[in-house]
Amino acid sequence: MDTNKLLGKVKVREVRQLKRNIPMVIIIISFIFSFYMVSSINEKKENINELEDIYEVITKNNMTLHSWSAYSREELYVMNVTEVIELIDDTQKNKTDFVWSTEKIENDHHNKVVGTKNNQSLDERIVITSYEDRNKYKVNITYQVVGDEWNSDIMNEISSNIKGSSIFYMIQGSIEDNNKNLQDLAQDLVRDFSGEVKEGVEEDQFISVSAYNPRWDLSLPLNQNDKMNLQIGVRSVPYSDNVDVTIGTPIITVEH
């Protein structure tokens, strides 16, 4: 057989085989691309930090920062008091820069250990409480940090302590020479978070709105069909054009 004809037949078969494989190649490429996109979206969402988002809105609106806070609570069960002691010991060994003390709770079976750390810009507090519950021991670990200054390294300093399903962030600030009415100001702040107002309370010199920001994982149910994860309070300062602003997620955890 002519060699050129033989090579031609081989090439034809290769082209036909390649054409048959093209749909499968496209499917594989599409799957890889889809997986990459989903992974990127999930990774981006996991990297979102609500406290940093709030600070960005504070900065965007030229507010004066007064204070910020983060609070988290982690709940877990251990089998016996020995495991409680081991958990407390491990925490104290990992947090040697905290000052630790044991607080006695009168007429109660709770055990409470408190660690505090104070410096010029941050006040941190860890509380470990434990008590017997149905033949096991329930342990609550709460972490609270309060500061009045902000820098880009703060989240790296505190993120390892923020654990559990109950996490709250809050920032308090003020706007000088505000030229908006309180309702418009609150609405504008919600829009800065790409949020949607769910409910609100309006008084003479104070407005509070509850909203939902789809970018955040934290949320609380409002009813069977709705939820919220952003609360904003704005209050006029008497005899001035200044306004005090408090922003929290999923709710504001202190009185205005």
The total of other beta-carbon atoms located within 10 Å of residue 106's CB is 4
d(CA 156, CA 160): 8
pLDDT for 17 equals 52
Say which range, 46-50, 52-56, 78-82, 86-90, has the weakest mean pLDDT.
46-50
Evaluate if residue 153 carries a pLDDT over 90. Answer: no
Tens digit of pLDDT for each residue in 93-137? 999 999 999 987 665 678 899 999 998 889 999 999 999 898 899
pLDDT for 41 equals 33
* Contact predicate 169/193, CB 8 Å: no
* Contact predicate 89/82, CB 8 Å: no
Mean pLDDT calculated for residue range 56-63: 95
pTM of the model: 0.77
Which of 42-56, 131-145, 154-168 reaches the highest mean pLDDT? 131-145
- Mean per-residue pLDDT over the chain, rounded: 82
Burial of 246 per CB tally in 10 Å (0-12, 13-18, 19+): buried
Tens digit of pLDDT for each residue in 209-250? 999 999 998 899 988 889 999 999 999 999 888 999 999 999
